[in-house]
Chains A and B, each alone.
Chain A
Amino acid sequence: ETGVTQSPTHLIKTRGQQVTLRCSSQSGHNTVSWYQQALGQGPQFIFQYYREEENGRGNFPPRFSGLQFPNYSSELNVNALELDDSALYLCASSLGLGRSQETQYFGPGTRLLVL
């Protein structure tokens, strides 16, 4: 167990809807990264939050947005859902000191199905 929790575990939405996924980081970690994993593929980096600020973004459209709260928990929001957004969404937390090796620890993921 990594101490990283995600909710909900599973979710079903329809095209055009909006969804919010939540992540609680490991105690003491101030950095949260979000990844999308389509079936049969490796996880793809969406973005990272460090001390409540976005700190890098992957190749995802603006309808993917996020927040990090003062307690370092985080949300991933996806607007105007498309069928291709169906995937396992993973968050990972780390102690982001920025200049030294900081391992990312993953949560169990949220499985999103868009119909």
Chain B
Amino acid sequence: DAKTTQPPSMDCAEGRAANLPCNHSTISGNEYVYWYRQIHSQGPQYIIHGLKNNETNEMASLIITEDRKSSTLILPHATLRDTAVYYCIALSFQGGSEKLVFGKGTKLTVNP
């Protein structure tokens, strides 16, 4: 699985958009980009995933560059409850065990 690189921490004002970047320059054609977040000492929460196209759901939007070497997770209107560690993961599905390889993620702090 491709290695991903994220900034260790970011701050965002409540009500503003939070844009979390992720570099995955060695991603291969069949690897998906997954985003999870983990609020203090809870289990990771699935947010969104994508392969090539931009994706949007009720939680967030995922923008993947055309060359697929980087992506951005967008939380359109951040709230205090969005304070968490956000993990970007490149994951391939090859019929074997599909393990998630977590890095250290980005600690997002949403300020009032």
Contact = CB atoms under 8 A, between A and B. Distances in A.
Contact of A43 (B44, B93, B98): B44
Contacts of A103: 34, 46, 49
Interface string A20-47: 0000000000000101000001111101
A55 B94 CA distance: 12
A56 B49 CA distance: 23
Contacts of B100: 33, 35, 43, 45, 92, 104
A66 interface: no
Contacts of B34: 103
Contact of B87 (A33, A42, A111): A42
Contacts of B99: 33, 45, 48, 56, 58
A107 B83 CA distance: 19
Most B Cβ at <10 Å: residue of A55, A57, A101, A105: A101
Count class of interface residues, chain B: 20 to 34
A29 B42 CA distance: 21
Contacts of B95: 98-99
A108 B40 CA distance: 11
Given A43-B102, A88-B41, A106-B44, A100 B97 contact: no
Interface string B69-112: 00000000000000000010000010111111111110000000
B31 to A, nearest CB: 11
21 contacts: A2-B43, A4-B43, A42-B102, A43-B44, A48-B97, A48-B99, A50-B97, A55-B96, A56-B97, A56-B99, A58-B99, A92-B44, A98-B96, A99-B93, A102-B93, A104-B46, A104-B98, A106-B36, A107-B43, A109-B42, A109-B43
Interface of A: 2, 4, 33, 35, 41-45, 47-48, 50, 55-58, 88, 90, 92, 94, 96, 98-109, 111
Interface of B: 32, 34, 36, 41-46, 49, 51, 87, 93, 95-105
